[in-house]
Amino acid sequence: MRRRLGEGRSDTSAAAAVEFAILTPVYLLMLAGMLAYGIYFSAAHALQQLAADAARTAIAGRDTAERNRLVTDFLARNASAYMLIDPTLLRHRVGDSLTDPNQYEVHLSYDATRLPIWNLYPPLPLPDTTISYGATIRRGGI
């Protein structure tokens, strides 16, 4: 809507207000989506770091049983310190590799259903509700 102000000048402030009113909800939805995906990927990164740190803890064990105990204790004591990780939603599988006896493996899976990404508009493509990562470390020697 243009209002003549005289000598070729016009007032377009109403048009800017209408444009702002139309586009603001779209921008807010985009921002909410970016934030939700960011939280999901932050949790995935934290889980990856937790798996790597747990695998490094296993180095101190003399045998498989001690390594398993060290990793399980590490996860119980430290999982809550990793951003966005709730230890009650964390599952783990540890032990020697089935394909290479010189490798020790830590596999973590995290139930991500409590993250805010699942509150997004349903037609959006969403990742899996379970985040899984594994880490392996060589046992002794080269």
Supply the pLDDT for residue 22: 87
Q: Find, among 79, 72, 138, the residue nearest to 105 by Cα.
A: 138
What sign does the CA torsion over 114, 120, 122, 125 have?
negative
CA distance 60 to 6: 84
Q: State the alpha helices, DSSP H only, in 1-121.
A: 13-57, 64-78
CA distance 2 to 126: 44
CA distance 25 to 38: 20
Q: Find, among 81, 83, 78, the residue nearest to 41 by Cα.
A: 83
pTM, rounded to two decimals = 0.77
Greatest pairwise CA separation for the chain in angstroms? 90
Domain residue extents for the chain? 12-138
Residue 12 is inside which H or E element, if any? none
CA distance 23 to 70: 54
Sequence length of the chain is: 142
Query: pLDDT 10s digit of each residue in the chain, 142 long?
Result: 555 555 666 666 688 788 888 888 888 877 877 888 888 999 999 999 999 999 999 988 888 899 999 999 999 999 999 999 999 999 999 999 999 888 999 999 999 999 888 777 667 778 899 999 999 998 765 5
CA distance 55 to 132: 15
Amino acid at 9: R
